Amino acid sequence: MSWRSIPMKFPGTCTVCKKKIEVGEVALWAKGLGVKHQSCAEADVELDCAVCGGKAGCNQCEFMDDCDRTKVSQLCICKKCYEAKDSIVLYREAVSRNYKFPPQ
């Protein structure tokens, strides 16, 4: 599904920031997905899984409505890795291997 730039004929709510989009404002629209500000489209980030490196699945995440992907930790985990046996061990190993933390 591709997002199309349209002038708003009716007021709407941005699917990314949840703020109003006014009549006459140019926004992005996709059938079945809704509308979003053009500036929010740039911030609509898909994070990588910290364990496997694949896409974390942000658009299907149960926390999507509460998550600001421009501000959260980049250490997300995809559903496949999360549901794997010993997922917490895999996650800890990947984070330790890929990220350096200062000593405490």
Boundaries of every domain in the chain: 4-43, 58-98
* pLDDT, tens only, 41-88: 766 567 788 888 888 887 777 777 777 665 666 678 888 888 988 888
More confident residue, 89 or 41: 89
Short-list 71, 30, 29, CA closest to 47: 71
Examine the pLDDT at 91 and tell me if it is beyond 80.
yes
Q: Tell me the per-residue pLDDT of 5-30, one tens digit each, with 9 for 90 and over.
A: 999 999 999 988 889 999 999 999 98
49 contact partners, CB below 8 Å, separation of at least 6: 55, 56, 76, 77, 78, 81
